[in-house]
């Protein structure tokens, strides 16, 4: 996927997350589950693209982050803060299906996903991509 497409998708997901927070996270847990997961995968792909570690044909799938062995085999690339970034994405992905398809979750549990996504954005900015959000 082209880098510009990732940026557009990331902006869309971030808008949806912000709207969900404004409307009430308990009412919008599915939106938060889908969009934090999708945005996290886009952030990771943007990093890999910007570091010239992947081509436009390479696609990062969100569900890879649900299995550590899959991440290691599919994403062997190295860059600063990689482990911390993967850890945050993994924590988001671990809750994705519960938020998207499960019973209503507590606000605390939903907030933790949002908090981890915000930490991921901070890492993204720290890598020099503040103008990309």
Structure tokens at 79: 């860059």
Q: Classify residue 11: in a domain, yes or no.
A: yes
| Count of structural domains, the chain | 1
The confidence score (pLDDT) of residue 110 equals: 98
Is 133 among the domain residues?
Answer: no
Q: Residue 44: give the domain boundaries.
A: 3-127
pTM: 0.93
Spans in the chain with pLDDT lower than 70:
132-133
Q: Is residue 132 part of a domain?
A: no
Tell me: the pLDDT tens digits for 37-52? 999 999 999 999 999 9
On whether residue 87 sits in a domain, the answer given is: yes
State the pLDDT at residue 133: 67
């Amino acid at each position: 996927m082209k880098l510009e497409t990732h940026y557009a998708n990331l902006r869309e997901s971030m808008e949806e997350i912000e709207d969900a927070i404004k409307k009430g996270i308990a009412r919008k847990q599915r939106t938060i589950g889908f969009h934090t997961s999708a945005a996290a995968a886009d952030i990771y792909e943007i990093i890999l693209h910007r570091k010239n570690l992947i081509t436009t044909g390479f696609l990062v799938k969100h569900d890879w982050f649900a299995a550590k062995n899959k991440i290691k085999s599919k994403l062997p690339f190295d860059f600063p803060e990689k482990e911390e970034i993967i850890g945050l994405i993994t924590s988001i992905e671990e809750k994705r299906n519960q938020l998207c398809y499960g019973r209503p979750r507590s606000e605390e549990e939903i907030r933790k996903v949002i908090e981890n996504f915000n930490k991921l954005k901070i890492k993204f900015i720290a890598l020099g991509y503040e103008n990309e959000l």
